[in-house]
Amino acid sequence: MHIVITGGAGFVGARLARTLLARSQLALAGAPAASIRKVTLIDRAAPPADLAADPRVAAVVGDLNDLLASAPGSVLPADTSLVFHLAAAVSGECEADFDLGMRSNFAATNALLEACRRLGSRPTLVFSSSLAVFGDSPEQPLPELITDQTLPTPQTSYGIQKFIAEQLVADYARKGFIRGRSVRLMTVSVRPGRPNGAASGFFSGMIREPLAGLRAACPVADETPVAIASPARTIEGLVRAAEASDAEWGPRTALNLPSLATTVGEMAAALERVAGPAATALLDRTPDPAIRRIVKSWPGHFETARADALGLRRDASFEAVVRDYVRENPDEVKLPLQA
């Protein structure tokens, strides 16, 4: 089996690649498990050294739009069975630069779907959408609980672009060009590494940076609700979407992944239980109205019946998520930990 991951050098893409390579097999769309022969990582950056050293990994470095226009065979070789489409411009970037968002999130997805169509082999495509397709507004308030039947009402360019892409995936699947699976990722925290341009980036930064002994922004109020999923639960959702049979998957509409409902204040309290008051003393509580406006529009509570039926699960607690980060990234933790 040949698997392609767009955005494969990013945090989620690299972790997904490592997970797939460690498994070495995948039961694609309910079929018997087959060996993973090759994983191609597409990204603007080179993949991490451990992945680059794996003989099963091929790296294609460049802009996805440019590659699909000039060398589509390098992105989607004829033997491609499965595509994980993770490449995207993130929320804050898209609000600041409309053209960037449309190029990265709409045009690239459309071009990738056309490339899949030209293969003529109906590859499976798993698209990483976002909870940002749901947005609260005075004119159309969100319900308290988001379910699989809740109508998306995005309030940001990023959310709108993700919802457009979901609909494109659904239509290409309806026409039989691909087997389409769109999954709506929750806020992934705690992410290691450098901050990115996502409006939600501080949800990781407010944990990651204090654990490293650094100050971190916490620009919204403690009562702000958050729908969290750990990196591990996020990868589980992506892989399960690829493995589910058509009957298990059900309708072509996107699936909400399970989330842990928490608040910014509860996240800070979990940080303090793990690393003490010295950690929370490093949080900068200066409000940021632009971040607040985006984050406040997102829902915090989900009921995920479809995902539950697939055997997916939410994280037990945010403290457990923080302790998982500490265990996986010991070199990034500088503060003494609480027992």
**DSSP label at 333?**
-
- Supply the residues annotated as catalytic: 158
Lookup: tokens for 75? 């992105």
Lookup: tokens for 160? 């709108």
Tokens 């060996």, residue located = 35
Distance of alpha carbon 42 from alpha carbon 45, whole angstroms: 8
**DSSP label at 9?**
T
Residue 88's identity, in one-letter code, is A
Of the candidates 121, 96, 94, 95, which has an alpha carbon nearest to the alpha carbon of residue 108?
94
Q: Nearest 5°: phi and psi at 88?
A: -170, 155
Decide if 122 contacts 174 (C-beta within 8 A).
no
Residue 71: how many CB atoms within 10 A of its CB?
A: 11
Decide if 188 contacts 7 (C-beta within 8 A).
no
Q: How many residues does the chain have?
A: 339
H helix or E strand, kind and range, residue 184: strand 179-185
Residue 229: how many CB atoms within 10 A of its CB?
A: 24
Of the candidates 115, 116, 82, which has an alpha carbon nearest to the alpha carbon of residue 239?
82
